[in-house]
Amino acid sequence: MAVKEVLLYPDPRLKEVCAPIDNFDDSVSELLQDLVDTMIDAGHSVGVAAPQIGDIRRAVVVDVSHSKLGKKQKNHGLLQMVNPEIIEKKGDQVVREGCMSVPDYTGNVNRAEQIVIQFLDQNGDLQVKRAEGFEAIAIQHELDHLDGYLFLDRVSSLKTDLFRRKQK
């Protein structure tokens, strides 16, 4: 469909809680394709959530298979998720995260090591997937966007766990 502009913090739309998608119509397919196109166009992104492109519905895409960390681990490839929900978490780890909506910073965030997620796929079919490692981290990060959270909200200490990105 189209590459969309990614909203940047502190845009207030990034802090909104997204609405569930009740009707699986053409607009949902278009939204998912816009998310995929936007993620691919960024070149370095492993996921994007609907509110990052100004759409306040519960949809995200994640694909870690082309990233350095994702290639080293088993993953599901491209996941297009509508109304995703984590139904199980296991383990605990601190990881460094970045975000297209917060381009100048990265931060240390606490995430589950393994998750089980249920969602509707691009065809409207219910899926349940187990994810671990980098894929689990990316999914948790994108789902946070649906509830109005940025990784900045998950950083324990802005003084010790937030880092300015090196400029290229």
At 34-92, the pLDDT tens digits run 999 999 999 989 999 999 999 999 999 999 998 877 777 889 999 999 999 999 999 99
CATH class for the domain made up of 12-164: alpha beta
Q: Which residues contact 163 (CB under 8 A, 6 or more apart)?
A: 96, 105, 106, 107
Catalytic center residues: 142
Domain positions in the chain are 12-164
Top-confidence residue, 145 or 73:
145
- Of all residues in the chain, the percent with pLDDT exceeding 90 is 89
Q: If you average pLDDT over every residue of the chain, what do you get?
A: 95
Dihedral angle, C-alpha 143, 148, 154, 160, nearest 10 °: 130
